[in-house]
Amino acid sequence: MLSKKTQYAFHALVHLAENVDKGPILISEIAQEKNISIKFLENILLELKNAGILGSKKGKGGGYYLMRPPKEIALAKIIRLLDGPIALLPCVSLNYYERCENCRDEAVCGLNEVMGKVRDSALKILENKTLKDILTRG
Amino acid sequence: MLSKKTQYAFHALVHLAENVDKGPILISEIAQEKNISIKFLENILLELKNAGILGSKKGKGGGYYLMRPPKEIALAKIIRLLDGPIALLPCVSLNYYERCENCRDEAVCGLNEVMGKVRDSALKILENKTLKDILTRG
DNA sequence: CTATTAGTCTATCTTTTTTATAGGTTTTAT
DNA sequence: ATAAAACCTATAAAAAAGATAGACTAATAG
């Protein structure tokens, strides 16, 4: 499961994407709209900003905004940033690989092989779907 | 990521599957072979037994054994038992569903839709691949 | 130039989950 | 009887998740 942090990030990003035309959006507005603790959200948005995904403006008329169009922000990027590995096992993670401590040889480990396939099938979606794809429909 | 508990369970089950012909297998043998804390493993095997996946025999000549042939034990079942939901969000989980607290209507939530697809693609593999498919190859 | 607004930064705290251990109990084979 | 081995319950230790606090900095309006 994704952490609350990542779940909140997605909802916040959706709100920002749905209001791109309105200039910077207040943290407090997002918090209220999406039912998220404002202080917790503050940290999350800051992390997204430090990763170059969001920009911000201080003072009156300030707030947060997307640095790129929604269709250029892949879901996988957000998950990896806030939650870490997408793979189910460290030994099949592309970005957070760790050697398996419990098997002799990963090259012939069937678990490794199957979990690699699960990772691929998840990535096929998460690398290609973007913020644009998760906006409210209808 | 799967918990250590679930990872250990898979490795233990593989060992049991690869030794089905040898009668009951000692916890201590599995622990040594797979490099797992024996006491931790004890709890895990007990849980698998209580779920009907393993059987056991006490006293001399005792140990654990599979209750069904490896090809009838789906990976999804093990994960759900020890780790809980396979889905990335509570609101798309089939077995551990919880309503989304952060969106107005799941029926039109794009995040819900995409994460549902990720769940389906993972389940397509995890429901169909069994213990037999993760035995050491070659 | 000062008051207000709003993000920035860092630290801490609480709770929950994960991982692991301890130690006695029961069952079974010999 | 004895020894082997699983059973059971409790607890502890460590890590991660979730949340909050408060002082600081930058921008804007007047």
Over residues A76-125, the pLDDT tens digits come to 999 999 999 999 999 999 999 999 999 889 999 999 999 999 999 999 99
Question: What is the reported pLDDT for B103?
Answer: 87
Question: What is the reported pLDDT for A136?
Answer: 81
Question: What is the reported pLDDT for A138?
Answer: 66
**Mean pLDDT of the A13-17 span:** 97
Q: Which residues of chain B have a CB within 8 Å of the CB of A102?
A: 7-8, 11, 34-36
Question: What is the reported pLDDT for A80?
Answer: 98
Neighbours of A131 (CB within 10 A): 26
Angle (nearest 5°) at CA A123 between A80 and A43: 20
The alpha carbon of residue B18 is apart from the nearest alpha carbon of chain A, in Å, by: 12
- Residue A65 in contact with partner chain B when CB distance is under 8 A: no
Check whether residue A110 has its CB closer than 7 Å to nucleic acid strand D: no
| CA A54 – CA A42 distance, rounded (Å) | 12
Question: CB–CB of A102/B121 below 8 Å?
Answer: no
Distance of CA A109 to the CA centre of its chain: 30
Residue with tokens 């969000």: B89
Question: CB–CB of A66/A23 below 8 Å?
Answer: no
Domains and CATH numbers, chain A: 4-66 (1.10.10.10), 85-134 (no CATH)
pLDDT, one tens digit per residue, over A22-70 is 999 999 999 999 999 999 999 999 999 999 999 999 999 999 999 999 9
Question: CB–CB of A75/A130 below 8 Å?
Answer: yes
**Mean pLDDT of the B69-80 span:** 98
**At B37, is the secondary structure helix, strand, or coil?**
coil
Question: What is the reported pLDDT for B136?
Answer: 81
Nucleotide nearest to B62 (CA to C1'): D5
